[in-house]
Every structure is written in structure tokens, then in C-alpha cells.
Structure 1
């Protein structure tokens, strides 16, 4: 396993699917609600179509696919997803160890997500991580700019006092990968069961990502 030329000055985590194993339960709720409004998809198709999208992009895409969405669809989806996540979530395997390794190495961390700050708090609090990340969370819904627009990552960089060349971001979706490309940030693609994206480093475990970030090997 090869590492970076030097440890980064900042590691940016996506939240859903990178810190917390929340993609599947969220999309199960989305799939069930869409089925009530003329769009019946398999879970795999739902994940493929909507994973990583902002809520506005998701609604637009669903309508393009034939969904007949009422005016209150957004609020109903939020309520279902939050109720589901409130029952409990799991951290992505190995991410707690990765965070501990980065903390021990003195590498700053933050979170940049297309999800809401309320959802991030709900999930991270369950695992004792909200206190660490509370002042270092960047939400597209709060800031009004969502991936794949680079503005969300650029805001995280500015808030951390770090240039794009000094940071890395861990993403699990094509939307996040595109945001990193536009922002000029090195992207590490966490995708245990997905195909590689051309030009992006893909990793199946958080331990591998930690080794790369902490330079346990030669430069990329």
C-alpha cells in the first residue's frame, strides 16, 4: 500500500456512508415513500440513482423519473428518515480506529455533507462523535451550496485555514468525487462493494485509507 507524499493538513469526511452506515436505511425509507407516488424502484436502483445527491437534486431527479411528488414530500421524507435513524445507526467499520489514528497524529478533521446538520448531530451523537465534530461540520442545507458544486468543500477548507492541495477528502459517491475534483482536493474513494471510478483512488477498508493518509508506504 502506497501513501501520500506527506500527511495532509486536513482530512474531510463525508458523513453518510463514510462515517455512518446510513445509506441503506435512508434509501429504504426513500424507496418506500417513492413507491407511494408512482415511482417503484429496487433498493439497488434507488441507491444508484440518488446516493450522494442533495435533497433538491433528489426531488428533481425523482420527478424526471416519473414520480408524482406532493408539496409535502420533502417534510415527509425527512420525518421518516430521521425516525429511522433515531432508532440507531452503526459506524462504518474501522472508522473509529481511523479517527483515533488521525487524532494521535495531530491531523485536523472535519465533516462536509449534503445532509442537514440536524441529521449529522442525530447520528454522530449516537457514537460520541458530535462533540468532536460539532464545530467542524459543514452542511449543504445550512450553507446553501451542495456537492457536486465545489463550494461546500471550499467552505470547509476556508474554515479550517487549509488550501486544497493540503487536504484530502473521503467520499463514497460519484457526487462527492466530482465535488472533490472541482475543488482540487485529493479524493479517497471508500467503496467496499463498488467499482472503481477512473482517476480516483478506491479503498475497501478504512484501515487502508489510514495507511495512505499516514504515509505508511511510498508516495502515490
Structure 2
């Protein structure tokens, strides 16, 4: 009887926007255009400097406190317009983060999932548009589906449970502060893909990298550490 292969020592949980795909500037531009059209002055620079990775409605709430409250109908319409414009731009312009396709090709032995604050259809569009979908299959976890948003650790914890891995054997790969915070609070190992090292600090308990090419070596080291611990 053939032996059942041992499960991989680690499960990799990837954020989407800014981590797997280079969508942050597209989102910043679309959000700035749409919010400003509806009387909530907002710039792409604001998004990149203050709100990266945050839930859309949290951003809108902040702007409403500064510029006035909109009706529920307007809020629903704003999100619909923003999502439609964003999808069109993703389908036409979206690219994978530099080096990420090659990194993922080197990590085929590990189970992987996408864990995002975005809605499911946006995650699917991003993976399909950039040719990364085959790395994740149906392992796509949306805050909108699960009802919990980063920086709440619950989103990463629910993904880990669905992947059947304990938190301590999960590695979060995330570029945004809210995602790094969520991963650490979930008791997971966290790799911070820090695109702005001169402006954004990485917590001491996370691992900072500046390029996706660094991922395979770090994952291999973390996996060796897990194997040593479990066989000691």
C-alpha cells in the first residue's frame, strides 16, 4: 500500500492587492475619482499614504466625518460604480507584483490561499487577469464572504481553519499594515512585503522583505524550523 505523503509543514496565506497583484495605484485612482464625484474629496495619494488595505466602507466613513454624510442609496451606488470601474481597469491594466509569478512557481509544494479584504469577484478578477489563478484554485477567502475584515485576525484564522492548518503553521504574506497586524494577532508568522521601507516600519515580530524574489528562501527557512521543532 503506497504511503500517504506528509502534509507540507506550512500553509501560505497571501493578501491580494499590493501583495500578489499591483492593484493599489489603480484602486487609489478609481476611489479618488468616484468619492470626489459624490462630494467626498479624496486623492490617490491619501489612499496610498493613509488607507492602503483598509475596508472600503471604513474609508468612506472617515471621509463622511470630514465632508458630510451621504444617503444609504448614494453609498450603495458609490460602491457599485467603484467596483465596476475597478474591474474594467483590472481587466485592462492589472499586472502581478514584480517577481511574484516566479516566487509562486518555486512554492508549488505548499498549500496556498488568497485572503483579502476585497469582495470575492474582485479577488477572482485579479487572479484571472494576472494568470495567478492556478496557484490558488478555490482557496480564495474574502472578508465580504466571511464577515470579518483585517486588521481583525478573524479573517486569517477562518482561512487557516478552512485550509486545515493551525495558526502557528501558517505564514501570512501581506504588504499593508492592517494585514500585518491581523496576521500577528492571529498568532501566525508574518512576512511583510514592504514596498515603502523608508516610510513604513515593519514590526519586530514580522519579517520584512522588499521584493517577491526573497520569498522562496525565507519560506524554506521557516519550513525547516517547523520540521526541526516537530521532530525534536
Indicate the TM-score class for this superposition, using the shorter chain for normalisation.
0.7 to 0.9
> Partners in 2 of 1:202 and 1:192 — Cα distance?
10
- Give the deviation of 1:67 after TM superposition: 5.6
What does residue 65 of structure 1 align with?
66
What does residue 88 of structure 1 align with?
93
Q: Does 1:178 align with 2:181?
A: yes
- Give the deviation of 1:118 after TM superposition: 0.5
Matched-pair contact (CA < 8 Å) for 1:165–1:184:
yes
Distance 1:66 1:197, change over 3 A: farther
- Give the deviation of 1:34 after TM superposition: 2.1
Runs of 4 or more consecutive aligned structure 1 residues displaced over 4 Å after TM superposition: none
Matched-pair contact (CA < 8 Å) for 1:22–1:90:
yes
> Partners in 2 of 1:13 and 1:179 — Cα distance?
12
> Partners in 1 of 2:166 and 2:39 — Cα distance?
45
Greater RCO (Cα-Cα under 8 Å, separation 6 or more):
1
User: What whole-Å deviation, never above 9, does each CA across 1:120-162 have from its counterpart, x for those lacking one?
Assistant: 1112112332244231110011111111111110111001111
Matched-pair contact (CA < 8 Å) for 2:30–2:82:
yes
TM-score after normalising by structure 1: 0.87
- Give the deviation of 1:60 after TM superposition: 1.6
> Partners in 2 of 1:22 and 1:174 — Cα distance?
16
What does residue 205 of structure 1 align with?
211
In structure 1, the gaps of 5 or more residues are 1-6
Give the number of equivalent residue pairs.
210
- Give the deviation of 1:12 after TM superposition: 0.6
Matched-pair contact (CA < 8 Å) for 1:38–1:68:
no
In structure 2, the gaps of 5 or more residues are 1-7, 226-232
- In our comparison, the structure showing a higher alpha carbon Rg is 2
Paired residue secondary structure (2:107) = helix
